[in-house]
A and B are shown apart, each in its own frame.
Chain A
Amino acid sequence: MTRGGAGRTAVQCVLLLNAFLVLAPMAIMGVSAFKSTREIFQHPFALPGVWRWENFARVWVEARFALYFRNSVLVTIASVVIVVILGAMAGYALGRFRFRGNDLVYLYFLSGLMLPIRLGIIPLFILMRTLHLLDTLWALILTYAASGLPSAVFILTGFFRTLPADLDSAARIDGAGEWLIFRRIMVPLVRPALVIVAVYNLIPIWNDFFFPLVFIQTDRWKTLPLGMTTFFGQYSADWGALFAGLTLAAVPVVTLYALLSQQFIRGLTAGAVKG
């Protein structure tokens, strides 16, 4: 590839500018979290005169962020675990078992990739009400788990199909039980795919706002995104606290991303990028 130094500099300028546009707002958010409201209004770009850690303490305790975090963690982990387990089981059956209707079941799951479940929110709301699950975290977990299945089945069935055919038949001849074959031989082989499925579901579930908005009414069961709206209503004039709340909410995801950025990039674009 031939290109001059000028071209290279121009490329760097564009990329740097974009990096700046991405990072600057987040940096300002983080720094403002330590300021008083007056400082934010008067010196928006300056570093804080005194670093006010108490902004965070106030948000964590008074604004119940600890509670919202707990709920979000519970919901996300439970949903992802269910998606991965059920997805692996279904993917295994569809990828390794020959039976009539295999294609049909596969397509049935795939149809979920195209149908936005949000539009079924009214019947879902009434269903959850009948099951007495409204205003519990179970309403969220079941919805997320179910809506995560299509992508999980899609990704995992594909992986199971690529595994050599004699792998399980050999084990079967050796007299190994079906569960043992699945658990001991097949699952370890598709572990990378399980990670992709987990990541693919993790972030959207953690960030979801729509379903909690409809299903959860009590403060006690609010997840972080929904709790944030309550918090913003109550502290609307206290910008120091608002920025502290935003920062606090962003920190776990950003930290996780800093540690595992490649996995997240690969996982989140899994539906759009092949291979």
Chain B
Amino acid sequence: MRTSRRWWLVFFLGPAIVLFAAFITYPILSALAFSLYAWEGIGRRGFVGLANFARLFATFPYAGLLVNAFWHNVLVFIATMLLQNVTALGLAVLLARGPWGARGYRVIFFLPVMLSLVIVGFLWALFLNPVFGLVNKVLTLLHAGALARPWLGDASTALLTLIVVNAWRWLGFPTIVFLAGINAVPEEYVEAARIDGAGEWAVLRRIIFPLLAPAVTIIVLLTFIGAFNWFELPYIMQGVSGAPNRATDVLSLLFYRTAFGEVDTGLQDIGIGSAIAVLMFALLLGMSAVGAVLLRRREVELA
């Protein structure tokens, strides 16, 4: 009986563990190890310790590129928080009041989340074409032709434009999450506050927002992970080198380029590529851990 149960356990658990170990755990652990070796193409050479990191941090142009890309990721995170998630919170508050057509709005707002970023990127690249595209034409129609500019070609607007397109695609997601959070607030709390004479804003600020903390933590965490994994949209709309003049270069693009071949030469540098991966890794893991701890603590408080 005992042995048969053990075999059943192996039967149920084995396949999943093998698959997960082979294609997730092993690659991720090796990625850490790879950064400590010298590379020729995809051939691994001797152990070099932290030499790849030293090269990454200290030699031109890698050092500059790394810092440049990192700041862009940070910017993407901050701007997305302010632009996308604050708007989403506003929309969720409005939807939670149960206006006419709330269900329909929910469905519409979430629609772009379904679309592939490849579709979204190409679509907006066409709209943003400075000569033939729609965006500048709309501005001209609205008598705001002075605002027309080469959105994706101007180093000062390119990244922000990408962030807005990204927000267009993602907005529905935080909206739904916040909405679910607000709906989960017990009605009695709100009623009690109302009876105490609290106004609309006071209810939001004192009852709903504090109870929304877990949802906010999750969205902040997901936004952070998303911002630091940002790849598809800049790749599709601006190309693999983060044009113009590296204004939309982010860590994932830099990583991909270094590891799989530069645009004009096809040269690869797996050592440096792996070092970049390790850095991103540490960053994401650290942030996730902080987020998880925060979530746990909040759950305990609420329970």
Contacts and interface: CB of A to CB of B under 8 A. Distances in A.
Q: Do A and B come from one complex?
A: yes
Interface of A: 1, 3, 8, 11-12, 14-15, 18-19, 21-23, 25-26, 28-29, 40-41, 44, 82, 86-87, 89-90, 92-94, 97, 99, 105, 108-109, 112, 114-127, 129, 142-143, 145-147, 149-150, 153, 178, 182, 203, 206-207, 209-210, 214, 224-225, 228-229, 232, 239, 242-243, 246, 249-250, 253-254, 257, 261, 264-265, 268-269, 272-275
A15 B13 CA distance: 48
A123 B277 CA distance: 11
Nearest to B113: A268
B83 to A, nearest CB: 13
A209 B117 contact: yes
A90 B94 contact: no
A203 B106 CA distance: 18
B293 interface: no
A15 B16 contact: no
Nearest to B28: A120
B99 A207 contact: no
Contacts of A97: 5, 8-9, 12
A85 to B, nearest CB: 8
Q: Which one of A86, A119, A206 has the highest number of Cβ atoms from chain B below 10 Å of its Cβ?
A: A119
B137 interface: yes
Interface string B81-118: 00000000011001101011100011111111111111
A10 to B, nearest CB: 9
Nearest to B133: A44
A115 B289 CA distance: 11
A14 B101 CA distance: 13
Nearest to A118: B229
Q: Which one of A22, A82, A142, A268 has the highest number of Cβ atoms from chain B below 10 Å of its Cβ?
A: A22
Interface string B251-276: 01001000110000000001001100
Interface residues of B, number: 89
Interface in B57-71: none
B132 interface: yes
Interface in B269-295: 270, 273-274, 277, 280-281, 284-285, 288-289, 292
Contact of B24 (A29, A92, A146, A224): A146
18 contacts: A12-B101, A14-B90, A15-B91, A18-B109, A23-B111, A25-B123, A86-B15, A93-B13, A109-B20, A117-B28, A119-B255, A122-B34, A123-B34, A149-B16, A150-B24, A243-B126, A268-B173, A272-B173
A178 B176 contact: no
Given A19-B105, A118-B229, A28 B27 contact: no
A210 B232 contact: yes
A116 B116 contact: no
A90 to B, nearest CB: 4
B218 interface: yes
Tell me what chain B mostly uses at the interface: helix, strand, loop, or mixed: helix
A264 B24 CA distance: 26
A48 to B, nearest CB: 15
Tell me what chain A mostly uses at the interface: helix, strand, loop, or mixed: helix
A185 B135 CA distance: 57
Contact of B99 (A15, A86, A105, A124): A15
A153 B15 CA distance: 13
A77 B24 CA distance: 20
A119 B31 contact: yes
B280 A22 contact: no
A250 B123 CA distance: 11
B270 A254 contact: no
A41 B101 CA distance: 36
B261 to A, nearest CB: 11
Given A142-B19, A203-B114, A229-B236, A116 B225 contact: yes
B30 A120 contact: yes
A61 B227 CA distance: 37
B189 interface: no
B272 to A, nearest CB: 11
B127 interface: yes
B144 interface: no
B184 interface: yes
B222 interface: yes
A122 B277 contact: yes
B122 A228 contact: yes
Given A11-B97, A117-B27, A90 B13 contact: yes
A1 B96 CA distance: 11
A21 B173 contact: no
B114 A254 contact: yes
A44 to B, nearest CB: 5
B12 A182 contact: yes
A22 B171 CA distance: 10
Given A122-B259, A124-B27, 11 more contacts: A15-B105, A22-B111, A40-B132, A44-B137, A82-B19, A86-B15, A112-B20, A116-B280, A122-B277, A214-B260, A265-B107
Given A119-B281, A265-B106, A272-B219, A146 B19 contact: yes
Contact of A19 (B16, B42, B108, B218): B108
B160 to A, nearest CB: 17
Given A12-B100, A116-B225, A127-B27, A257 B114 contact: yes
